[in-house]
Amino acid sequence: MAVTQIWLSLKLMEQVDGAITTLFGTGAAACFVLALVVFRQEQRDLLLNPMKNMQKEVHPDQMAKQGKGVGFGIGMWILTILVSSIFF
């Protein structure tokens, strides 16, 4: 997830910040950047303690199904980043 966030922030930050500044002014652009910083801090907190607010029961049949399709998911993720880098 961190690689995707870094890629998106590098790819889209200037475009989004410029559009918000043009549409709503510098105050809104500053609020957008502040919201982005707060969001990243919350993501870091979730990485440190992801189960802070969750109580979940996991059954053995669900455990057996975990991990299937991981390769497909990673392949689709890489393909999406490559295609969007080329065309957008």
* Residue 22 structural domain: 2-87
pLDDT at 67 over 60: yes
Cα(71)–Cα(77) distance, integer angstroms: 10
For residue 33, the model assigns a pLDDT of 79
| Residue pair 20/32 in contact by the 8 Å Cβ criterion | yes
| 2 or 76, higher pLDDT | 76
Query: For 25-46, what is each residue's pLDDT tens digit?
Result: 777 777 777 888 888 888 877 7
Cα(32)–Cα(40) distance, integer angstroms: 12
Number of domains within the chain: 1
For residue 42, the model assigns a pLDDT of 82
pTM attached to this predicted model:
0.36
Cα(77)–Cα(4) distance, integer angstroms: 9
For residue 1, the model assigns a pLDDT of 54
Burial track 3-36 (b if 16+ CB lie within 10 A, e otherwise)? eeeeeeeeeeeeebeeebeeeeeeeebeebeeee
Mean pLDDT of 59-83: 82
